[in-house]
Amino acid sequence: MKAKGNFYKDNPDIEFHLKHRTPMKEIYSWLPADIKEGLGIESGEEYSNMWLDILNTMGEYSGSTLASNAADVEKQDLELKDNEVIFPPAISENIDTYKEIGGCALTTGYKYGGLNAPMMVELISDELISRACPSTMLNICWFGSIGNIVEKYGTEEQKQEWCTAIAEGRASGSMSLTEPDVGSDLANVRSYGNKQDDGSWELYGNKQFISNGCGEISLVLAKNGKTTKGLKSLCLFLVPRKIEGKHNFNIVKVEEKPGLHGSATCALEFDGAKAWLIGKEGEGFLYMLDLMNEARIAVGFQGLGLMEACIRLSKDFADQRIAFDKPISKHELIAEKILDMDVETKAFRSLLYQAAYYASLVTTGEAYLKTEKLSDKERAETEKKIANYNKRLREWTPAIKWWSGEKGWIHARTALQIHGGYGFTTEYKPEWWVRESLILSIYEGTSQIQGLMTIKDTMKDIIRRPREFIEIALGTRWKAMAESNPLKKKIHQMRQIVNSSLVTILFRIVKANANSEYDTKSSSDIMAMIKFLTGNMTKMDKLSPALLHAERICEMKAIIAQSRCALWDAEIESSRQWIAERFINKYYPVVLQRQKEIELDDPVLNDILAAYQKK
């Protein structure tokens, strides 16, 4: 390792969360007995210390090898030659060193040579690595994530071959989802497979924008026949890049990109490629969602690493840059920018670590239920906890991905602005971080897709449980009125603002489809409106009021989630009160503004949208 640095040890914020908010001892309590035995651990403290040591190693790797090589990664070009991607020296060293320190084995099951790390350990490692070199993170994240899907849904033969190879660093993978002109419209995927007599498949089609498409295996989403249609026709196929030394599919192109210069983003061609089904026919979309949900949280951690890098760059430069006889960090306009970068980074970390903790408990708990003999009461209690964690994760995941994409580039741009003219030169790093940040709002589902996911799930929940929605809406109103803590009061008010905004959206949907009038302040009218929606939602074709404001609802929910997490931190450690106070005070007016935008019902925009619908 070259330079002396440790991105884990130099950040006390990480230690706070691991000690107070996400204790690994609780994960240990759900760890199946065979895994405890395989890892050779006998207590929660041993379990926790093992992962803290791993994170310390990852911090040293990130703060030394990766930080030293980052500039060279940016300068050295990848090359596509004879259907092989050739990595230049700097990125090759980064990947090789990751293999040497055992990073590939992190989350793979111990049965296949892995360490069975909780998901949060891998995700925190992603943050540390992204703070130094996002390209490296995008290369090495395709070991564990692909291995997890094979281990969860593959056959024992597939696990023995590929999970073992991944844990040993002999194989990485890719997720081949996107196709030319299809994008997020997965129902129109054109790639397809033909089943062979020996149980294998022949795969045909093209995939585009595939990160690490040069990996040794690709998990490909394709139809189970050329003429089949719809999501239920989609299957997940395991496709080796080479079979007996010969190429099984073609790498047609490596994309030229403004950022992530050391990551191979490939166009792939499958022309009769030999493939094997993962799991069951027709369930490929569900398996891919599993991988994508983890990937979306991982993009949140990538954005967090970028934010941490940008705030440190900005602080260091502003403290040294003198203007008008004092450091610019002491000028009001710059001081506020640096404060908000710091607060937003810490609030986002709080939400991300809590989400990663819940995800770790879910995966560990599911294994615990399968392998341990539990009483009916213990099983019911465990299942209830897992359901609650899953519910929170489903709500948080699109908000996390949206926030990372929409706020990460603002942090990078702010760092550039603080550097002034220096920031607009390649001699300084802010312009590099701006370019690295631009992808965050695009891959693993654009910000707009995250908004649509949020509004879709929200509307479904309301229609399924209308009385619960009204009770929550009224409950937050009364809580806001009765609460004496000013920060808790504002959180209750923000939740009430979101509920009020949703009622406005529901009212417009009904009005657009049935020309009915309701009083949005009357609980009985709200219930009547929801009952109407429950019986007629599938028949409605005018859903613009919901779709139009999807991102606004997503942003509001992201603000509330971070506000709650930051306040939970402050309740544990009073020295963190200022973080919660500043974040909530800054973003409370933003929630109000989004409500006003939803209520505006702009006639110009409505006329344009109506004209589009007529065409």
306 and 420 housed in the same domain: yes
| In the predicted structure, residue 78 carries a pLDDT above the cut 90 | yes
417 and 462 housed in the same domain: no
428 and 460 housed in the same domain: no
Q: What is the pLDDT of residues 194-203, one digit of tens each?
A: 999 999 999 9
The count of C-alpha atoms lying within 13 angstroms of the C-alpha of 581, restricted to the half-sphere facing its C-beta, is 8
Q: How far apart are CA 54 and CA 51, in angstroms?
A: 5
Q: What is the 3-state secondary structure (H, E, C) of 367-429?
A: HHHHHCCCCHHHHHHHHHHHHHHHHHHHHHHHHHHHHHHHHHHHHHHHHHHHHHHHHHCCCCC
- In order, the DSSP letters of 336-364 are HHHHHHHHHHHHHHHHHHHHHHHHHHHHH
Higher per-residue confidence, 181 vs 605: 605
Tell me the pLDDT of the chain averaged across its residues: 93
Which residues lie closer than 8 Å to 472 by C-beta, 6 or more apart?
A: 499
356 and 393 housed in the same domain: yes
Please enumerate, as own/partner, the contacts of 569-572 that have beta carbons within 8 Å and a separation of 24 or more: 569/16, 569/20, 569/21, 569/350, 570/487, 572/20, 572/21
153 and 300 housed in the same domain: yes
Residue 500, in any domain of the structure: yes
424 and 480 housed in the same domain: no
491 and 555 housed in the same domain: yes
Residue 78 DSSP one-character state: P
Residue 92, in any domain of the structure: yes
Q: Report in angstroms the alpha-carbon separations of 491 from 56, 72, 352, 562.
A: 36, 46, 19, 10
Q: What is the pLDDT of residues 233-277, one digit of tens each?
A: 999 999 999 999 999 999 999 999 999 999 999 999 999 999 999
339 and 363 housed in the same domain: yes
Residue 469, in any domain of the structure: yes
CATH number of the domain residue 405 falls in: 1.20.140.10
Question: Which residue, of 441, 466, 495, is where some domain finishes?
Answer: 441
| Planar angle of CA 13, 18, 20, nearest 5 degrees | 90
Q: What is the pLDDT of residues 191-234, one digit of tens each?
A: 999 999 999 999 999 999 999 999 999 999 999 999 999 889 99
493 and 596 housed in the same domain: yes
Range of the domain at 397: 12-169+286-441
Is 251 strand, coil or helix? strand
Tokens (6 digits) for 411: 């942090």
466 and 569 housed in the same domain: yes
Question: Which residue, of 441, 469, 494, is where some domain finishes?
Answer: 441
| In the predicted structure, residue 539 carries a pLDDT above the cut 70 | no
Q: What is the pLDDT of residues 317-333, one digit of tens each?
A: 999 999 999 999 999 99
**Number of C-beta neighbours around residue 563 at 10 A:** 26
**Number of C-beta neighbours around residue 20 at 10 A:** 13
Residue 160 DSSP one-character state: I
435 and 519 housed in the same domain: no
| In the predicted structure, residue 478 carries a pLDDT above the cut 80 | no
| In the predicted structure, residue 596 carries a pLDDT above the cut 90 | yes
470 and 567 housed in the same domain: yes
pLDDT at position 147: 94
| In the predicted structure, residue 1 carries a pLDDT above the cut 60 | no
Higher per-residue confidence, 298 vs 509: 298
Q: How confident is the model at residue 537 (pLDDT cuts 50, 70, 90)?
A: low
* Contact (CB, 8 A) for 356 and 24: no
* Contact (CB, 8 A) for 368 and 31: yes
Q: What is the pLDDT of residues 445-473, one digit of tens each?
A: 999 999 999 999 998 888 888 878 877 77
